[in-house]
Chains A and B, each alone.
Chain A
Amino acid sequence: MGVVTAGVTEVPAATPERPAAVGGGTPGTGRLLLPTTVIGSWSVPDWLERAKTGVHHGSVSRSQLADMHDMAVKAALKDQEVAGIDIVSDGELRRDNDIDYLLARVPGVEVRDAVKAFYFDYLDLELPRPLPEPGPGVLGLVPDLEFTLAHTDRPVRFSMTGPFSLSQRLRCGAYPDRADLVRALARVLNAEARALAGAGAQLLQIDEPLLAGHPEDVGLAVEAVNIVTEDVPVTWALHVCYGNRYARPLWEGHYDFLFPAVLDAAVDQLLLEFARKGDEDLQLIERHGWERTLGVGVLDVKTADVEPVDVIEKRIERALQVVPADRIVVTPDCGLRHVPAGAARAKLHAMTTAAAAVRDRIPKENT
Chain B
Amino acid sequence: MLVEIRPAARLRGKNAVDLTAALAPVFGALTTETDDAGPVTDLSRLRVVADWVQYRNNFRTPVELRPVVGGGPPELALDLRGISGTGADAVTSGAAAALRAHHSGGAGSRHLTLEEWGPTRDSAIWAFNSLYWQHLQLWEEATGQGYESALPGGQSDARHLEPVRATIGKLFAIWDSLADRRALPEELYVVELGVGNGNQAGTWLDTFVEMDRAHGREYYRRLHYLMCDYSPHVLELARATVCDHTEHVSSFVLDAQRPLTSLAFLRFKVFFVYISNVYDNLPTDEIATIGQREHLVEARAYLPDTDATAIAAGLGIEPETLGALVQKLLRLGPPLLAEAYPQHFADVPAAVQFWRECWQALKLQERYVPLHGLDTYEIAPGISGELLRPLLATGGDVRMHVSNGAATSFAETLPLLHPYGRLQCHDIVVTDPHQYRSGFRGPGKYDGSVVNWVNGPLLAHIGARKGFDVSFAPFRRNGSNIITMTADVRD
Contact (Cβ within 8 A) B464 A118: yes
Among candidates B268, B269, B386, B390, residue contacting A248 with C-beta atoms closer than 8 Å: B268
Contact (Cβ within 8 A) B466 A250: no
Task: Say yes or no: A122-B491 contact (C-beta < 8 A), given A249-B268, A253-B183.
Answer: yes
Q: How far is the CA of A327 from the CA of B464 in the complex (A)?
A: 40
Mark interface residues in A218-254 (1 if CB within 8 Å of B CB, else 0).
0000000000000000000000000101111111110
Task: Give B395 Cβ to nearest chain A Cβ, in Å.
Answer: 15
Q: How far is the CA of A246 from the CA of B465 in the complex (A)?
A: 7
Q: How far is the CA of A46 from the CA of B383 in the complex (A)?
A: 11
Task: Give B379 Cβ to nearest chain A Cβ, in Å.
Answer: 14
Mark interface residues in B241-285 (1 if CB within 8 Å of A CB, else 0).
000000000000000000000000000110000000000000000
B396 within 8 A of A: no
Mark interface residues in A106-137 (1 if CB within 8 Å of B CB, else 0).
00000000000110011000000000000000
Among candidates B386, B418, B464, residue contacting A252 with C-beta atoms closer than 8 Å: B418
Q: How far is the CA of A184 from the CA of B96 in the complex (A)?
A: 78
Contact (Cβ within 8 A) A252 B185: yes
Task: Give A45 Cβ to nearest chain B Cβ, in Å.
Answer: 13
Q: How far is the CA of A121 from the CA of B490 in the complex (A)?
A: 10
Contact (Cβ within 8 A) B268 A252: yes
Residues of B within 8 A of A251 (CB): 183, 419
Mark interface residues in B389-424 (1 if CB within 8 Å of A CB, else 0).
010000000000000000000000001001100000
Among candidates B181, B268, B467, residue contacting A216 with C-beta atoms closer than 8 Å: B181
Residues of A within 8 A of B467 (CB): 245-248
Mark interface residues in A197-230 (1 if CB within 8 Å of B CB, else 0).
0000000000000000101100000000000000
Q: How far is the CA of A56 from the CA of B375 in the complex (A)?
A: 21
Closest to A243 in B: B419
B481 within 8 A of A: no
Among candidates A46, A118, A215, A250, residue contacting B419 with C-beta atoms closer than 8 Å: A250
Task: Say yes or no: A248-B181 contact (C-beta < 8 A), given A46-B384, A118-B464, A243-B419.
Answer: no
Contact (Cβ within 8 A) B419 A248: yes
Task: Give A190 Cβ to nearest chain B Cβ, in Å.
Answer: 26
A314 within 8 A of B: no
Contact (Cβ within 8 A) A248 B183: no
Closest to B419 in A: A250
Q: How far is the CA of A338 from the CA of B489 in the complex (A)?
A: 17
Contact (Cβ within 8 A) B418 A50: no
Q: How far is the CA of A160 from the CA of B465 in the complex (A)?
A: 24
Task: Give B58 Cβ to nearest chain A Cβ, in Å.
Answer: 35
Task: Give B319 Cβ to nearest chain A Cβ, in Å.
Answer: 50
Q: How far is the CA of A122 from the CA of B467 in the complex (A)?
A: 11
Residues of B within 8 A of A121 (CB): 464
Contact (Cβ within 8 A) B489 A248: yes
B182 within 8 A of A: yes
Mark interface residues in A248-279 (1 if CB within 8 Å of B CB, else 0).
11111100000000000000000000000000
Contact (Cβ within 8 A) A249 B464: no
Max chain A CB contacts within 10 Å: which of B415, B418, B467, B489?
Answer: B467
Contact (Cβ within 8 A) A118 B465: yes
Among candidates B415, B418, B491, residue contacting A245 with C-beta atoms closer than 8 Å: B491
Residues of A within 8 A of B418 (CB): 252
Residues of B within 8 A of A46 (CB): 384, 386
Task: Say yes or no: A249-B181 contact (C-beta < 8 A), given A50-B386, A118-B465, A122-B491.
Answer: no
Q: How far is the CA of A243 from the CA of B491 in the complex (A)?
A: 11
Q: How far is the CA of A341 from the CA of B269 in the complex (A)?
A: 27
Residues of B within 8 A of A50 (CB): 386
Residues of B within 8 A of A245 (CB): 467, 491
The B171-194 residues at the A interface (CB cut-off 8 A) are 181-183, 185
Closest to A46 in B: B384
Closest to B489 in A: A248
Contact (Cβ within 8 A) A253 B491: no
Contact (Cβ within 8 A) A252 B466: no
Closest to B390 in A: A117
Contact (Cβ within 8 A) B268 A253: no
Residues of A within 8 A of B415 (CB): 248
Task: Say yes or no: A249-B386 contact (C-beta < 8 A), given A118-B465, A216-B181.
Answer: no
Q: A248-B268, A252-B183 are in contact. List 12 more A-B contacts (CB 8 A).
A: A46-B386, A117-B464, A121-B464, A245-B467, A248-B467, A249-B268, A251-B183, A251-B419, A252-B268, A252-B418, A253-B182, A253-B183
A-B contact pairs, 22 of them (CB 8 A): A46-B384, A50-B386, A117-B390, A118-B464, A215-B181, A245-B467, A245-B491, A246-B465, A246-B466, A246-B467, A248-B268, A248-B415, A248-B466, A248-B467, A249-B268, A250-B489, A251-B183, A251-B419, A252-B183, A252-B269, A252-B419, A253-B183
Which B residues are within 8 Å of any A CB, using their own CB?
181-183, 185, 268-269, 384, 386, 390, 415, 418-419, 464-467, 489, 491
Which A residues are within 8 Å of any B CB, using their own CB?
46, 50, 117-118, 121-122, 213, 215-216, 243, 245-253
